[in-house]
Structure 1
Amino acid sequence: MGAGPAAELVRLTGVGRTVVLPDDEDLTILSAVDLTVHGGDHIGIVGRSGTGKSTLLNLLGLLDRPTHGTLEWMGQDVRTLSGGAAARIRGRDIGFVFQQFNLLPGLSALENVVAPLMYATGREFWSRRRIAAEMLERVGLSERLDSRPQHLSGGEQQRVAIARALVRAPRVVLADEPTGALDVETGAQVMTLLDDVSRDSGAALITITHDPGVAAIARRRYRLEHGALHPLDAAA
């Protein structure tokens, strides 16, 4: 028998986000975003500066809530979640990969990857160093466990950031301009790695970027424009 359909993780229906400016005028950043995310998806979202990419990332990462429309996480409307419940989902089920790596400079690569596991429980907590070391080996850094960020190249630092994002086996990985601080060749290698490791773990990967070349590796691609997502040609 073939594998069943992947579970639906996130659904956005007519999602919008409006903020009030200091002069009491409303500014609509997102107006009508529709998107469904299943386990194993790789979605690339391209948009110029000012199109609402950061706002969409904050909504997907449960850092903010829509002002209209519906955002469901595993079938639950996020408007019904308390702040604590949203924080627990972020810590357990959402991994973030940022442009600037955001590694802790005083910690080794291993210690940076261990950090999210400090909030784990049971076997995951007690085996945290082994789990972190295995994840670093998976991203090709088994020889750099004790190296601090300042002694790693940009590409190696981003690999540590990927290992940190994936170490708790999240359901969704959000990558915000993940290659913006890297040269083109290193960026391509990092994107391939991020796609491979996410796919192996069954996580959905959502890459938000201004660079169409970065989004091209995704299997579903969209352009964020005029407050909504517009499908691009399917990946080859």
Structure 2
Amino acid sequence: MRLVEAIDVGRTVELPDAEPLTILRHVELAVDEGERVSIVGRSGSGKSTLLNLLGLIDSPSEGELRILGEDARRLRGARRDRVRGREIGFIFQQFNLLPGRTAIENVQTPLLYDGGASFWRRERIAREMLERVGLGERTDSRPERLSGGEQQRVAIARALVRRPRLILADEPTGALDLETGGTVMELIEEVAAETRAALVTITHDPAIARRADRHLRLSEGRLVPLDDAVPAGSPS
């Protein structure tokens, strides 16, 4: 099943006292169930803007965008929020953890919107996910007591706890050392494989990019394919 389809998608923002800024133009992208796609690009190339469109945080200025088989333009209000909350998992570069809440409380947050067993078992489910990212002994620690790498792993656990069908990862290993980063990517891929979720990863790390089935570069607002392999040390 095709989970993401962008057809001639563009994104332009209005600026005060300046000409409109075109960030994305004529973007074509199709991602199937279970597929792994990596996107590289220089800072300011529009990678985060593209991820926000795919995650239904923003809307395209032009073109057609279909997420999980639905036209994004028809997803409004509560329906849009439900699709984003239930079916899409975000791994943010800035973590976006709730201050003053423990690691397990942060990971439980997405489950508060579930019904049935997941809601009532949310603490157990969150604890199991934290154990999978190596934080089983840090469940009661607040973000300010965690290192950057630990905060990133909490953010990853929170994104995966609902087992979304589409996982959007913005530099998911940016705050981790090489060994831990590889372990965390294995976890993300493992959870994605369990549910046949699609995984779209934005990364500056060629080693992380090479893990994907398909490699793309965002350049001058357009998505272009890379060669079958991403050369180590290539600019991103």
Q: State how far apart, in whole Å, the 2-side matches of 1:116 and 1:137 are.
A: 17
Instruction: Please list the CA deviations of residues 151-180 of structure 1 after superposition, one character each: whole Å capped at 9, or x if unmatched.
Output: 434333222211110111111111112222
Per the alignment, in what secondary structure is the counterpart of residue 35 of structure 1?
strand
Runs of 4+ in 1 over 4 A off after TM superposition: none
Q: Does 1:187 align with 2:181?
A: yes
Match of 1:17 in 2: 11
Deviation at 1:204, TM superposition (A): 1.2
TM-score normalized with structure 1 length: 0.89
Per the alignment, in what secondary structure is the counterpart of residue 48 of structure 2?
helix
Partner letter of residue 38 of structure 1? Answer: D
Deviation at 1:149, TM superposition (A): 2.9
Deviation at 1:10, TM superposition (A): 1.2
- What aligned pairs does 1:31-70 form with structure 2 within 5 A after superposition? 31-70=25-64
Deviation at 1:106, TM superposition (A): 2.0
Q: State how far apart, in whole Å, the 1-side matches of 2:47 and 2:24 are.
A: 9
Q: Does 1:139 align with 2:133?
A: yes
Partner letter of residue 166 of structure 1? Answer: L
The equivalent position to 2:24 in structure 1, one of 30, 37, 44, is 30
Q: Which is worse superposed, 146-155 or 126-135?
A: 146-155
Q: Is the 8 A contact 1:155 1:190 kept in 2?
A: no
Q: Is the 8 A contact 2:5 2:31 kept in 1?
A: yes
Identity %: 63
Q: State how far apart, in whole Å, the 1-side matches of 2:54 and 2:123 are.
A: 29
Q: Is the 8 A contact 1:101 1:161 kept in 2?
A: yes
Match of 2:226 in 1: 232
Query: Aligned pairs, how many?
Result: 230
Deviation at 1:127, TM superposition (A): 1.4
Q: Is the 8 A contact 2:133 2:184 kept in 1?
A: no
The equivalent position to 1:85 in structure 2, one of 79, 90, 107, is 79
Deviation at 1:71, TM superposition (A): 0.2
Partner letter of residue 88 of structure 1? Answer: R
Q: State how far apart, in whole Å, the 1-side matches of 2:42 and 2:3 are.
A: 26
Per the alignment, in what secondary structure is the counterpart of residue 173 of structure 1?
strand
Partner letter of residue 184 of structure 1? Answer: L
**Residue 105 to residue 23, structure 1, CA distance change in 2 (3 Å):** closer
Partner letter of residue 58 of structure 1? Answer: N
Q: State how far apart, in whole Å, the 1-side matches of 2:186 and 2:147 are.
A: 18
Match of 2:94 in 1: 100
